[in-house]
Structure 1
């Protein structure tokens, strides 16, 4: 016991300059905690964090999985959401929760569903903070497959900085219910917009929700990873290509439902929802598959931060994410690249559950980045997403974090500790 106390005092005195020992109540590293070399804005904000689960239903949606001969029936589409928010932590309680997650893929005998849990720094069902409300809204969309818990390092962190953050379980696209890809192709933008509308409704003063008066849907950022990135790029204004519509029609036996969000459609001609102020797209999918073209990408006019691995082997880089960045000529956009990283630049770092002996290599590699420390990636993402949405949702002057040399070769970027390497930042104005 004495040795543990001496160790604590040593860490308290000699922690890396410029950081604080944030989590003395626990010896264990929890997903999203700041490493000693975390950049400046990765540290948690002034607010404690609460978390709640919501279950919603979007009625009358196209049931593309039951399309036949070009006819698509409708169904009531269920969506489960997780909401993180600034909260009051009662005396004697701890800002801690346990998330129920699974690894594997539905209907894949080679990758059976295996439940596991991991810890987070939020208190389940805590009372919201009411002073300073309403808080800006952030909507988060996972990959295919994934879950609403895929990026808790980021959702908790942003809530601690005065945002209401809602992450979506996209039905038919999670580990538990992964279904044909056509559902993901069609439903991502509709799910995002439905959640935006529901958050606006639930946040209205006088509603019976805990969100009443808490969130400002008129001041929203949308964040998506992989197929989530595909969705938010579309919601941000980029219409799908004619090639994408043709591919979808062939894959679904004759449905042209993707035309609803294609370039030139009434929805895309109307422009993005004015409540959305900024877009963050991690490794957005589709460019190498002809989902996007020059005409469609012109529709993205919102400030956008792209984040990608320079060796992305799923969405592609030069002909993938970077080509999307280059093609969004009407947007003020940045692109952060992790040199030598592949596709997994957005998820939580691997937890102990996926690193146990006997667990499939596929489950570990769903989170891991071969050339990077994933915890450091999490910290860098916290830093730049905080800076970016802070500029556009809170009017913060965070330009210094982006006005940097394209390559970080000398270890010096604003907000970073010395010896940082492996990053590139591009900026293009309309």
Structure 2
């Protein structure tokens, strides 16, 4: 064996060792664990966390990727969801779960699909803890492409605080089945609404699901990242603009299927769901492309938390996410800004598998932030999401954590250790 081959094996062993060390329960750092400078509300709650995978089917949906305008076939749209929930501890069993995800893109031969696993702090199929009654529901929607496992640091954290959290694999929008963009434009809001209805059904008195009696669907929040934010804001009341319909038509040869989600549509107004009480949008896409106009943004009336990087080069900041914040004049809203961050202000940190030889650097950069530590972003998100949902879904007096001393003040932030708010801005506006 030559020297070059030996060096390659040593590097591979070193990287593999790093992966094992970083994912060994009790020894290493798992997504969502606290850094020493984590803000106060990032800490986990008192509930154990269970997790289960459920497969749903949204029947008879328009297949806008096939057929032609006005003649799209119907298909049964499969949706896999991951559900985290308050759970009872299992004797003699560590609360550790292995998640299986994928790097790459299904439609890009230069970025082949590469499976990887990572650990979380939950127990697969644990018995639900019904001591808290029916828990508020949080529906989580990933980016394009993405997966239901993209925000496990947050989904586990919320379940430990007494929420049932449901993250969707949006069909034709995941790493493994990525397809044409029009499907994502049409189906994000529809998937969210369908999953809410399914959670209501599965938690009902007649249900034989583990969710029976566990969920209060009348007390729901939406969390979306990138295209997930695009859909969540629409479900929350921000109807799409005529320009959005025109953009959709250009991509589909004239299809008007998106019309029912536009602000001018009577069907859209009748679709708004009073069970949704609040919305959180991380780096929501669309404003720079005219997806919303002043009328649509003014129709958003639910409490809203926007999270953005000031250098976001996918969704845009000044004419993108900040413009949504400024235009939603009838909502109480917050804008948390990571100064100098780009688009990746929501997901788990880059998986160590993306550092292995032969894996494209694009897989690492899909998750990575150039100017921020991703684990720190995760802790900060845990803190502010806990405060926001605590106020609007649980009635907890967490307002001091959100009503901060001016957008550029970096001291005196409740819950933050001294000097640890640098690089952050928080804006707050009321109707």
Distance 1:186 1:410 in 2: 40
Q: Pairwise mapping of residues 16-95 of structure 1 onto structure 2 (< 5 A)?
A: 26-95=26-95
Match of 2:18 in 1: none
* Structure 2 residue 408 is matched with structure 1 residue 387: no
Deviation of 1:84 (Å): 0.2
Q: Deviations over 1:355-411 (max 9, x none)?
A: 224321110011110000000000000000000011000001111001112245444
CA-based RMSD: 1.3
What is the CA–CA distance in structure 2 between the aligned matches of 1:271 and 1:158, rounded to whole Å? 27
Q: Secondary structure at the match of 1:28?
A: coil
Distance in 2 between residues matched to 1:51 and 1:179, nearest whole Å? 28
2:147 is the counterpart of 1:128: no
Residue 349 of structure 1 and its aligned partner are, at CA, apart by 1.1
Is the 1:249–1:256 contact (alpha carbons within 8 Å) kept by the matching residues of 2?
A: yes
Matched, 1:255 2:255: yes
Q: Any idea what the Cα deviations from partners look like across 1:19-55, whole Å, max 9, x if unmatched? A: xxxx996111001101111000000000010000000
Displacement, 1:69? Answer: 4.1
CA distance in 1 between counterparts of 2:52 and 2:169 reads 14
Residue in structure 1 matched with residue 356 of structure 2 by the alignment = 356
Contact 1:271/1:299 (<8 A) preserved:
no
Q: Distance in 2 between matches of 1:63 and 1:24?
A: 43
Contact map agreement 1:307 1:336 (CA 8 A) in 2: yes
**SS of 1:186 mapped into structure 2:** helix
C-alpha distance in 2 between matches for 1:134 and 1:187: 28
Alignment of 1:261-300 (within 5 A): 261-270=261-270, 272-300=272-300
Shift of the alpha carbon at 1:271?
6.6
How far the C-alpha of 1:70 sits from its partner, in A, is 3.3
Aligned counterparts of 1:367 and 1:267: Cα–Cα separation in 2? 37
Counterpart of 1:297 in 2: which secondary structure?
Answer: helix
Per-residue CA distance 1:293-336 (angstroms, 9 max, x = gap): 11111111100000000000000000000001111111110000
Query: Which residue in 2 is equivalent to 1:326?
Result: 326
Shift of 1:350: 1.4
| C-alpha distance in 1 between matches for 2:408 and 2:44 | 24
What is the rounded CA distance, in whole Å, between the counterparts of 1:392 and 1:206 in structure 2?
29
- Give the TM-score taking structure 1 as reference length: 0.93
Cα contact 1:239–1:297 (8 A) shared by 2:
yes
Q: In the alignment, what sits opposite 1:162?
A: 162
Partner of 1:5: none
Residue 426 of structure 1 aligns with which residue? Answer: 427
Q: Which ranges in structure 1 are unaligned for 5 or more consecutive residues? A: 1-22
Residue pair 2:25, 2:96 contacting (<8 A) in 1 also: no
Q: Does 1:241 align with 2:241?
A: yes
Change (3 A) 1:306 1:58: same
Could you tell me the TM-score, scaled by structure 2's length? 0.93
Q: Work out whether residues 405 and 412 of structure 2, in 8 Å CA contact, stay in contact via their aligned partners in 1.
A: no
Could you tell me which residue of structure 1 aligns to residue 98 of structure 2? 98
The superposition leaves residues 98-151 of structure 1 with CA deviations (integer Å, 9 ceiling, x where unpaired) of: 000000000201100000000000010010001111010000000000000000
Distance 1:131 1:24 in 2: 31
Structure 2 unpaired stretches of 5+: 1-22
The residue aligned with 2:413 is 413
Q: CA distance change for structure 1 residues 37 and 265 in 2, over 3 Å: closer, same or farther?
A: same
- 3-state SS of the aligned residue for 1:191? helix
Using the alignment, how far apart are the partners of 1:69 and 1:231 within structure 2?
A: 22
Deviation of 1:269 after TM superposition, in Å, equals 2.5
Q: Secondary structure at the match of 1:128?
A: coil
Aligned-partner Cα distance in 1 for 2:69–2:147: 32
In 1, Cα distance between equivalents of 2:287 and 2:152: 27
Cα offset for 1:418?
1.3
1:364-403 pair list within 5 angstroms: 364-403=364-403
Residue 11 of structure 1 aligns with which residue?
none
